[in-house]
Structure 1
Amino acid sequence: MSSEAPTGTTTVVIADDHSIIRDAIYDLLSVATLPGAADSPGNFEIVGTAENGLEAIAAIKAKRPGLLFLDVSMPLAGGAEIIHDVRRWSPDTRIVIFTGVTSPSVLAGILEAGADAIFSKLSPARDMLAKLPLILMGERYVAPELTDIIRKGQQGETLTGRERQVLNMIVMGKSNKEIAQELNISPKTVEKHRGSVMLKLEVHSVAQLMARALKDGLIDAT
């Protein structure tokens, strides 16, 4: 079971490789009071902090907190790996992700791994505090701006293999004629694929297409 203090406070572990973020969350929770609770602060008890993935996993195993604040990009162990270990050692812990990551595949992977909530590090702290009661009661939450990123990434995943080929060649700066010659198709077919890619990714120019492809990781490493 997750750790709950006798007074009803929720125990918390904060895991982030940046001390300024750990301190900010610590200070925020130290004076936070959940709606419906007593007027005096103290609803949260910080029982551990971690600056890398291995420390985070060790803290979870030792403390079994009610709440984990987790950065997904930390040394020694990644976000999804940590989430899997949390679910193994402390299944009742609610996992709140704070991240600066904007990769659709990474964000979707975090949700799939079992995160309960994801907030952008650019989001106002009051947004997180407002959602905490629902998160602690078992609801899941993803900040709207991150939901939009995930949705657009899923649209990217609907590209066909040929459309991905064309997209990568466009990003490389190849003309329709050059793409047609390499793929042994007509320039008219290339233009059709180009239009389909731009429609699916909701862009209106080659510059926007290239920016979207880079941002969403749609470019093949090869």
Structure 2
Amino acid sequence: MYSLLNDHPSMRVGLAALINHQSKIQVVAEAANGEEAIEVYSKTKPDVVLMDLRMPGIGGVEAILAIRKVDPDVKVIVLSTYDLDEDIHLAIRSGAASYLLKDTPIEDIANAITSAYAGNVSLPKSVTKRLAESLQREQLTEREKEVLEALIMGRSNKEIASRLSISDETAKSHLKTLFQKLNVCDRTEAAIAAVRHGIVHLD
């Protein structure tokens, strides 16, 4: 049994029809928002929940956390339009067993449902890579973040060294480590990555 939670009726109905044609999988309930998701889960207790993240009212992550308070062992698969690092990270941290994009082939969605039912965490390689990169970014030291902020402000190595009261060589060393952790090749890519991934916020 499986429950589908999505705020777009046509998407929900179409996906439910496709899923119901898969062997050994049956849609037992649908919901259009987070509030309904929590209520539907309490009533039907499906084996697997397919959850959208961005819904009106209570969002997907909040709904997952609320449902897991009722049943810590619930199997949830997030199906989203967005492949943003923050969304992926929040979904997995909330306890999702997988994170799939809405253009994922139906056979792969069915396989993810079967895998989640069996108690497995199955993430596409692209998502696994993004999580690994996100973890690496989280490991930036406070000093490295200060260097990154100065870099985004357009400071030269010498200016960064002076601003932080460190030597030019130390500033260069911090930049080299930053490039490795951010998986970038130069200062411009580092600045773009920092803003895109929310490491540094521009006013």
For the pair 1:45 / 2:19, whether they are aligned, the reply is: no
For the pair 1:209 / 2:199, whether they are aligned, the reply is: no
Change over 3 Å in CA distance of 1:209–1:14 after alignment to 2: same
Give the Å deviation of 1:91: 4.6
Give the Å deviation of 1:138: 1.3
For the pair 1:14 / 2:4, whether they are aligned, the reply is: yes
**Partners of 2:136 and 2:73 in 1: how far apart?**
33
Superposition pairs of residues 1-222 of structure 1, within 5 angstroms = 10=1, 12-34=2-24, 43-47=25-29, 49-91=30-72, 93-220=74-201
Give the AA of the match of 2:165.
N
Structure 2's unaligned 5+ residue stretches are none
TM-score by length of 2: 0.87
The runs of 4+ residues in structure 1 deviating greater than 3 Å are 90-93, 100-106
Identity %: 27
Give the Å deviation of 1:69: 0.9
Give the Å deviation of 1:217: 1.9
- Aligned residue pairs total 203
**Partners of 1:74 and 1:215 in 2: how far apart?**
23
Cα displacement string for residues 49-96 of structure 1 (whole angstroms, at most 9, x for unaligned residues):
222211211211222222211012222223332112212234554211
The residue matched to 1:119 in structure 2 has which SS?
strand
Give the AA of the match of 2:91.
I
- Show the counterpart of 1:6: none
In terms of fraction of residues, the more helix-rich structure is 2
TM-score by length of 1: 0.80
Structure 1's unaligned 5+ residue stretches are 1-9, 35-42
Give the Å deviation of 1:147: 0.9
**CA RMSD in angstroms, aligned pairs only:** 2.2
Cα displacement string for residues 165-199 of structure 1 (whole angstroms, at most 9, x for unaligned residues):
11122123222233223222233322221111001
Give the AA of the match of 2:156.
S
**Partners of 1:174 and 1:199 in 2: how far apart?**
20
Q: Does structure 1 retain, via aligned residues, the 8 Å contact 2:77–2:113?
A: no
Q: Does structure 2 retain, via aligned residues, the 8 Å contact 1:61–1:90?
A: no
Give the Å deviation of 1:221: 6.1
Q: Does structure 2 retain, via aligned residues, the 8 Å contact 1:60–1:89?
A: no
